[in-house]
């Protein structure tokens, strides 16, 4: 933890964003003085320029005291009920301070309130910035910190990017405690652990590592912790900021971490033996390690009958190939390999392209770029008009381009089918890889036809086989082929038949069930009540 502490305190030579070191809760500084006036001068000097910093003078027993707080971080109702009212009741009585025993005073007047003591100024500053009210009493070299944190937060709602037909409808929010509770509601296991780190020189953002200690491989957990300790950033605002620090250093368009806003998805990954990473302020949690097939699996697959789930999963694989290769195949065949097209279809396609001034490759690049612009415009514009702009824009521009003779009708069909297929992936950032590679395939198809497309496919497969996520081959369990893990890859076998965890994760316990009970599934001769 020493290296992490140095990073958090800004002691790295590569980071310097403020004119003084940022303190942390563990850092020691000058201890509090007995004089309330001297303590007040130091504390107010630190936050004198903040309009939301307030203090109230009090009388604790027969001693003067001051309560400090940020009104933007605490509940004012709790401030009145849990601090001011008990202190009014304590006025005039100084028996508990005969020996300066602050603990006895807390037990008598704040017995049921979350608290901590602060013995130096850094601890006071840290507590104030984390939603505590700090009470400093004259003659006492220790401050009482009462937790009154109340931050505005978004309520739990349905996922916005990973919709589902059948299954739980809740999603993560920007509040860490809420996200942890959503996971614990699903995994009532005392071995489920959440360890917290503070990352970011200025933001001190809470980063939580979650795992099940009697399932997850210890080496994997230690590797995740080690990478978090090495994170060296000024500010951390979302899990996307830390994602690149957690992935293996590889130049690849394919995502090496799995992100989701669905608690049931993270819970399922934890039970499999993976590690979850949650960032305070982010509704997206990360899961590592990640393999290629994870991006074709949806939690809804396990809420549907296995025949239906297997069919939908195969559609996802086909859609991936269509979104990646369909435009390049059109360019290659229409340019170099006319003999592969039936004569009647070839005549129809060439008739539509008659009068089009551009070759097929320029034609499809123009339409693909136009669709990418429309897609981004629809995402970034206000929600009320975003969908209208993207849909109407695509229809109007496509129809106008065909009527103007700039593109052919069949190309509009190709681009539309490719775009629809790219949305089939359950995880949005995986479709980004296909969008990028699609242009490379189009150019290769235009240069040397189907040979170029096939060559690039081979290069892509070689690249995928060389990727690793925390030492796990990216194409596992397909390459290397792990026969024991094939029950939940291209198709989903019945739940009662899929009772082992992925072997490539090297979990402590490979079986998901105990030896007790029946895991063979129901038989046809049972349940006959006639």
Q: From the DSSP assignment, how many helices (H) and strands (E) are in the chain?
A: 17, 12
Query: Does position 274 have pLDDT exceeding 90, yes or no?
Result: yes
Question: Around 100, how many Cα atoms within 13 Å sit in the side-chain half-sphere?
Answer: 9
Other beta carbons within 10 Å of 112: 6
Query: Does position 19 have pLDDT exceeding 80, yes or no?
Result: no
User: Which two structure tokens, joined as six digits, stand for 377?
Assistant: 């415009």
Q: For the chain, give every domain's residue range.
A: 31-147, 325-473
In whole angstroms, what is the distance from residue 289 CA to residue 276 CA? 9
Query: Does position 270 have pLDDT exceeding 50, yes or no?
Result: yes
Largest CA distance in the chain: 104
Q: Are the C-beta atoms of 306 and 494 separated by less than 8 Å? A: yes
What pLDDT, on a 0 to 100 scale, did the predictor assign at position 100? 58
DSSP 15-37: ---SSSPPP-TT---PBPPS-HH
Other beta carbons within 10 Å of 65: 20
What pLDDT, on a 0 to 100 scale, did the predictor assign at position 1? 39
Kindly give, in sequence order, each residue whose CB lies less than 8 Å from that of residue 52, ignoring residues fewer than 6 positions away: 70, 71, 72, 73
pLDDT band of 71, cuts 50, 70, 90: confident
Kindly give, in sequence order, each residue whose CB lies less than 8 Å from that of residue 274, ignoring residues fewer than 6 positions away: 211, 216, 220, 287, 288, 289, 505
The sign one gets for the Cα dihedral 270, 299, 314, 311 is positive
In whole angstroms, what is the distance from residue 195 CA to residue 155 CA? 24
User: Which two structure tokens, joined as six digits, stand for 394?
Assistant: 């695509």
What pLDDT, on a 0 to 100 scale, did the predictor assign at position 108? 75
What pLDDT, on a 0 to 100 scale, did the predictor assign at position 162? 81
What pLDDT, on a 0 to 100 scale, did the predictor assign at position 275? 94
Kindly give, in sequence order, each residue whose CB lies less than 8 Å from that of residue 147, ignoring residues fewer than 6 positions away: 113, 114, 115, 116, 131, 132
User: Which two structure tokens, joined as six digits, stand for 277?
Assistant: 């990473």
- How far from each other are the two terminal CA atoms of the chain, in whole angstroms? 67
Q: Considering only CA atoms, which of 206, 220, 147, 199 is closest in space to residue 177?
A: 206
Q: Which of 54-63, 169-178, 449-458, 519-528 has the lowest mean pLDDT?
A: 519-528
| pLDDT tens per residue across span 476-511 | 998 888 888 888 888 888 888 788 888 888 888 888
What pLDDT, on a 0 to 100 scale, did the predictor assign at position 16? 35
205-212/275-279 β-pairing: antiparallel
Predicted TM-score (pTM) of the model is 0.80
Query: Does position 26 have pLDDT exceeding 60, yes or no?
Result: no
What does the mean pLDDT of the chain come to? 82
Question: Around 337, how many Cα atoms within 13 Å sit in the side-chain half-sphere?
Answer: 17
Return left, alpha or beta for 523; rule: phi > 0 is left, psi -120 to 50 is alpha, else beta: beta
Q: Are the C-beta atoms of 171 and 237 separated by less than 8 Å? A: no
Kindly give, in sequence order, each residue whose CB lies less than 8 Å from that of residue 411, ignoring residues fewer than 6 positions away: 330, 360, 363, 364, 367
Kindly give, in sequence order, each residue whose CB lies less than 8 Å from that of residue 504, ignoring residues fewer than 6 positions away: 291, 472, 473, 476, 477, 482, 485
What pLDDT, on a 0 to 100 scale, did the predictor assign at position 225? 92
Helix (H) or strand (E) holding 269: helix 263-272
Query: Does position 516 have pLDDT exceeding 60, yes or no?
Result: no
In whole angstroms, what is the distance from residue 185 CA to residue 168 CA? 12
């Amino acid at each position: 933890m020493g290296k992490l502490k140095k990073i958090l305190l800004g002691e790295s030579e590569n980071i310097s964003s403020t004119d003084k070191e940022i303190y942390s809760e563990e850092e020691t500084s000058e201890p509090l003085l007995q004089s309330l006036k001297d303590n007040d001068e130091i504390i107010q000097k630190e936050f004198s320029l903040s309009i939301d910093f307030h203090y109230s003078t009090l009388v604790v027993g027969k001693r003067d005291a001051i309560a400090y707080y940020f009104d933007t971080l605490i509940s004012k109702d709790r401030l009145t009920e849990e601090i001011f009212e008990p202190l009014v009741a304590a006025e005039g009585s100084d028996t508990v301070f005969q020996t300066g025993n602050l603990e006895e005073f807390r037990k008598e007047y704040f017995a049921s309130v979350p608290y901590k003591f602060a013995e130096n100024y850094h601890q006071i500053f840290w507590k104030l910035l984390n939603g505590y009210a700090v009470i400093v009493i004259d003659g006492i070299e220790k401050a009482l910190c009462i937790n009154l944190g109340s931050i505005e937060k978004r309520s739990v709602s349905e996922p916005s990017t990973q919709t589902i037909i059948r299954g739980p409808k809740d999603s993560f929010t920007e509040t860490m405690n809420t996200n942890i509770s959503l996971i614990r509601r699903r995994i009532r296991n005392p071995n489920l652990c959440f360890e917290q780190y503070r990352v970011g020189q200025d933001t001190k953002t809470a980063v939580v590592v979650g795992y099940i200690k009697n399932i997850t491989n210890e080496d994997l957990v230690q590797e995740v912790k080690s990478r978090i300790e090495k994170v060296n950033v000024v500010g951390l605002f979302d899990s996307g900021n830390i994602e690149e620090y957690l992935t293996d250093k590889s130049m690849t368009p394919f995502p090496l971490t799995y992100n989701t806003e669905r608690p049931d998805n993270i819970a399922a990954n934890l039970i499999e033996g993976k590690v979850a990473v949650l960032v305070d302020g982010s509704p997206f949690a990360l899961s590592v390690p990640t393999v290629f097939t994870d991006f074709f699996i949806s939690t809804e697959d396990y809420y549907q009958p296995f025949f239906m789930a297997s069919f939908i999963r195969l559609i996802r694989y086909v859609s991936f190939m269509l979104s990646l290769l369909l435009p390049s195949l059109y360019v290659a065949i229409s340019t170099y390999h006319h003999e592969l097209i039936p004569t009647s279809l070839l005549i129809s396609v060439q008739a539509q392209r008659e009068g089009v001034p551009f070759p097929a490759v320029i034609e499809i690049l123009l339409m693909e770029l136009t669709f990418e612009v429309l897609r981004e415009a629809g995402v970034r514009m206000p929600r009320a008009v975003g969908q209208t702009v993207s849909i109407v824009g695509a229809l109007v521009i496509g129809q106008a381009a065909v009527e103007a003779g700039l593109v052919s009708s069949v190309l509009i069909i190709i681009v539309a089918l490719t775009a629809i297929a790219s949305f089939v992936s359950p995880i949005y950032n995986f479709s980004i890889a296909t969008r990028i590679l699609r242009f490379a395939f189009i150019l290769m198809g235009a240069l040397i036809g189907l040979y170029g497309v096939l060559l690039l496919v081979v290069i892509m497969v070689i690249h995928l086989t060389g990727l690793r996520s925390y030492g796990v081959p990216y194409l596992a369990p397909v390459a290397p082929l792990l026969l024991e893990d094939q029950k939940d890859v291209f198709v989903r076998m019945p739940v009662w038949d899929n009772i082992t965890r992925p072997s490539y994760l090297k979990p402590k316990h490979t079986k998901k069930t105990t030896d007790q009970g029946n895991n063979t599934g129901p038989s046809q001769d049972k349940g006959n009540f006639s």
